[in-house]
Chains A and B, each alone.
Chain A
Amino acid sequence: MTDDNINELESHLEDEIHELQKLGLSAEESMLIAKKRIGNIEELVTEFSKVNKGIYFKNKIIPYLKGILLFVAFLTITSLLANLSILIANKLGVNDKNLSFVSVGLLILSTFILLMFSYKKYKNVNLNIRKLTSIPILVSTIIVSKLLTFLSFHVLNRLIGISHYGVLQMNLSIYKLIFVFFILIISCVVFYSLKQENKTTILE
């Protein structure tokens, strides 16, 4: 339902309550009857969605779009971090052997930050994550990270040899593989536990 639909139903409820109170009912009784008359939320949403087909569809796909964008943003940021690790290592004078540790360290740190955000959201900590996951912010993050990754690639090409860059990309690929594997395990666990819970509810 759109905000306009909700406001309209709210004003309808107020009218209904007002009329019932005029008949001598208490505020609480009027509220209960008005709520009953307006029908249950599922039926209302079904009726309204027939007219708001476009909005209904857009609202349905937004979570999926956000999920995809979040994943792309995460991958882009990790690529950028990998490139950044070379620059940091180069500035600090870290040798080639320890370069992998720096890059892996940065990637682990980014994963840790992501998990921390997810955990805090899960625990309902007052964290305004909505703004961070809004589509314009995600799209801008992806574009900026992609541009920076592209620019850093050119800087790196001059700074270090292509072979070192290859090693880093290899590290990043392994990391991405592990990350995808981790997401797959979580998806399977959530899917099967939910299936199991639904079975138990039906049996009950």
Chain B
Amino acid sequence: MPWDRNQMAARAAQELEDGMYVNLGIGIPTLVSNYIPEGITVTLQSENGMLGMGPFPYEGEEDPDLINAGKQTITELPHTAYFDSATSFGMIRGGKIAMAILGAMEVAENGDLANWMIPGKLVKGMGGAMDLVAGVGRVIVVMDHTNKHGDSKVLKACTLPLTGTGVVNQIITNLGVLDVVEGGLKIVELADGVTEDDMRAATEATIL
């Protein structure tokens, strides 16, 4: 059985290390915070100006002045700090954030990432994604391996406008885990019941 959204998030959480400052993107990456391994402390950054992001509030305790980058109401923790957007991206661009876990529309075998627009169809914008992939230490993409038509999202070259070039270090999909290495992708792990042949068949990119 390929992994579901929660299993993908749980697998991504295994990449976290104690003491890390981490930025989680919108969608499946947000779920990673539910699976932080015991004994490990990570501090979540929200690029709208917060370190130390807490869980969603209890009903009735929502605060319009306290949201995450996905505009969801959240809470603060004892070690939370707030700052403005210029400072926030200063720490991102300045390499202070150890890891970003992001969603994607397409990833290429050379680490190129596309996740911000579909020309003529979807105009949302890159938000902070371009800054994150340019600045953080390690970029992990978590996404479904194929789109709803069954086409591979793990490609030889991206077809959509890029978010960054050569920026992705690891890809976690419903089929398993791939590392971006010299010359292509390397299988690190397969989801339960997924064979190497299944992985290769669903992947357009070069698997070494």
> Is the A/B pair a real complex?
no
Residues of chain B having any CB pair with chain A under 8 Å: none
